[in-house]
Amino acid sequence: MDLWLKESQIEDAVMTYRVKQTLIREKTEYQDLAIVDTYSFGRMLVLDGIVQTTVRDEYVYHEMITHIPLFTHPNPKKVLVVGGGDGGAVKEILKHPTVEKVVLCEIDGEVVKQCKKYLPEISFALEDPKCEIFIGDGIKYVHEHRNSFDVVIVDSTDPFGAAEGLFGGSFYKEIYECLTKDGIFVAQTETPFYLPEVVRDVYKDAKAVFPITKLFMAGIPTYPSGFWSFTLGSKRYDPQKVNLSSTADINTKYYTKELHIASFVLPKFIEDLIR
């Protein structure tokens, strides 16, 4: 008998994956958590029926949400990740030699626990001594840590349920205060094909707070449409004008210095959307 995971995040469209084995499924305090082993993408983390990351394509998302801001900032030392309990963002952040501390603020401790057990190739950096794990409310944490981080990365699930409060102008104002005087913020901001209103509204809200606001794109096979947006807000540094020639070379599979610049070149329909 064939077993299939059917993701129906987007109304009137589904993505399906043939499953070898369900490794764990449980109801946590916040969500339905599953880790399954699939034929096409290997093991994947699924929250409330929506694919979050897979061992096959995780590098695209995690490299782009981290290396763009970290190479834009000239000397990032302290980094906060809100969400991201799988540890993939932490893995990429710690490739940067200037980083002295990463705080992972994840509301659901079960995500961290089960990813450590079943997704070690993604989560291994959570054991690094530079990484501090805080299990709790990211909004509250940001509010309580003013002028504390050079880079804040909002590695959240989609904008409903437990993550709904992580999208919107009031939270971006809190992030602005959480950042140092030349800090940078990045968030995953959904697909312009299926959720253009989310892309537009997040960009508008961020632009009302940050003097430099830019949208960039990446191709992620397991996310709806495969075409994904990220929004960057910066107090001082423009990611399109940064001099990357003297930055450290790190081991990546997707991100390059050339792609850093190119990812901000947007198709016209997206330019029109956020104009």
Q: Are residues 195 and 135 in the same domain?
A: yes
Q: What is the CATH number of the domain that holds 41?
A: 2.30.140.10
Question: Using one digit for the tens of pLDDT, what is the confidence trace for 47-98?
Answer: 999 999 999 999 999 999 999 999 999 999 999 999 999 999 999 999 999 9
Q: Does the global pTM surpass 0.85? A: yes
Question: Using one digit for the tens of pLDDT, what is the confidence trace for 60-72?
Answer: 999 999 999 999 9
Place of tokens 């005087």: 181
Residue 114 in marked binding region:
no
CA atoms within 13 A on the CB side of 247: 21
Q: Are residues 108 and 122 in the same domain?
A: yes
Q: Are residues 25 and 77 in the same domain?
A: no
CA distance 146 to 78: 13
Q: Are residues 47 and 154 in the same domain?
A: no
Residue 164 in marked binding region:
no
Mean pLDDT over each residue of the chain, to the nearest integer: 94
Q: Are residues 84 and 142 in the same domain?
A: yes
Q: Are residues 262 and 159 in the same domain?
A: yes
10 burial (CB, 10 Å; 0-12 / 13-18 / 19+) is middle
Give me the mean pLDDT over the 190-201 stretch.
94
- How high is the pLDDT of residue 163? 45
Q: Are residues 189 and 251 in the same domain?
A: yes
Residue 263 in marked binding region:
no
- How high is the pLDDT of residue 119? 98
Residue 41 lies in domain:
3-54
Q: Are residues 263 and 172 in the same domain?
A: yes
Q: Are residues 268 and 245 in the same domain?
A: yes
Active site residues: 155
Tokens of 173: 């104002």
Number of domains in the chain: 2
